[in-house]
Amino acid sequence: MTAPLIALAVGRGTGPDLAPVFERVLRRITRLHGVEAELVRSPRLYHSYVSLRAECADTAEIARLTALDAEHYERFCREQAAAGVRAVFRTAINAQSLYLVRRRLAAVKVEPLSANGARLLLVRDQAQGFYTGENQHTPGTVVRTMEFSREVTGQVVRYALRRARDLWPEGPARVQMAYKFHLLDGALDDWRAELSAELGIEIALFQPDTVNRNLITHGPEDRTVLVAGNEWADIMHVVLLDRYGSERQENRCTENVHLHPELHGLTEYQTVHGSADDLAGLDTVNPVATIRAAARIAERHANCPGAEAAVETALAAAQARGVRTPDLGGTTGTTETVDAVLKELSVALKPFVPAARSGASRITAASGTDRAGAR
């Protein structure tokens, strides 16, 4: 069997601290399953916003490096998808570069949530809107241009429905969109109506403040699909996690799916938290989200059944012994936390790994081209 390919992209800040965590956990899980995986690491260390501000003398230089990072990461994703990679783990990088890529590759962020037995699927439209715009500078002024299109809106809605039907065999009970649609001269409402007729399902369109009020007052209806504009969903993602995910964002990983047809559904996994540049090199950054991302990738993309459940068991066992990083009120460092979880993992995985399975695991490193130059 061909070894599955997993890609890794690393940004400044705590990226260099978390990349080895991902590699260690992925290696341990695959070894325990007796399977192989090949890890392909981008040769470029991408900027964080803090590193750009520290290195650049003016906005022109920030814009230049932002464009280079975006160009390189887009190319890396395209090359890996063409080579058969279906999963990327990415640490935090500068959002301006990232959203240029998300626009070009039509990305959505996906988050299944639950509240008192009600299931909610948040599909965050990262491919269009203010975040994906580009800047033109004149003295004292920044003009930011952005775009919405029926084609991309249709891609996002169709994907949301496919994902909901994968999650819920009975299909979605309610589909609603949360966008500032009154700013678009009625175009988004027209597209919604056309998509409703085309797909044979009622799609509601609400202002974000109305969605907020309904969620706070009533909670979500079971099997609700919420397709959300990026600006609102970026803020509400953490709120929804807190209210319906029962988890702090520092502990969560999430996934972004690229809908551009040339990317073949390449899925990028990331921690929900940012680059945390102030913690870089201190061995204190919380590794839980990265550990969970490694488990999710191992189970979904590297033929390691039971990896996610086993990691949750191992995390709970480590936390029961008082293993917590400073952000969670503990004193345990990053490395010590990972050591504790990996110690528990061998025991936790035993029920999931067939006894007859054997063979060496292999995590090898490879690099793609770097025509833009590493910085």
Q: Tell me, what's the pLDDT at 272?
A: 81
Q: Output the tens digit of pLDDT for each of the chain's 375 residues.
A: 577 899 999 999 999 999 999 999 999 999 999 998 999 999 999 999 999 999 999 999 999 999 999 999 999 999 999 999 999 999 999 999 999 999 999 999 999 988 778 899 999 999 999 999 999 999 999 999 999 999 999 999 999 999 999 999 999 999 999 999 999 999 999 999 999 999 999 999 999 999 998 888 888 899 999 999 999 998 888 788 777 766 666 788 999 999 999 999 999 999 988 899 999 999 999 999 999 999 999 999 999 999 999 999 999 999 999 999 998 889 999 999 999 999 999 888 877 777 545 444 445 555 544 433 333
- Note whether 59 and 137 are within 8 A (CB): yes
Q: Tell me, what's the pLDDT at 247?
A: 64
Structure-token pair, residue 61? 């230089």
CA-to-CA separations, 353 to 25, 79, 295, 307, 341, in angstroms, rounded: 16, 33, 14, 9, 18
> What CA–CA distance (Å, rounded) separates 123 from 162?
11
> What CA–CA distance (Å, rounded) separates 223 from 75?
36
Q: Tell me, what's the pLDDT at 245?
A: 63
Please state the pTM of the whole predicted model: 0.91
Q: Tell me, what's the pLDDT at 107?
A: 98
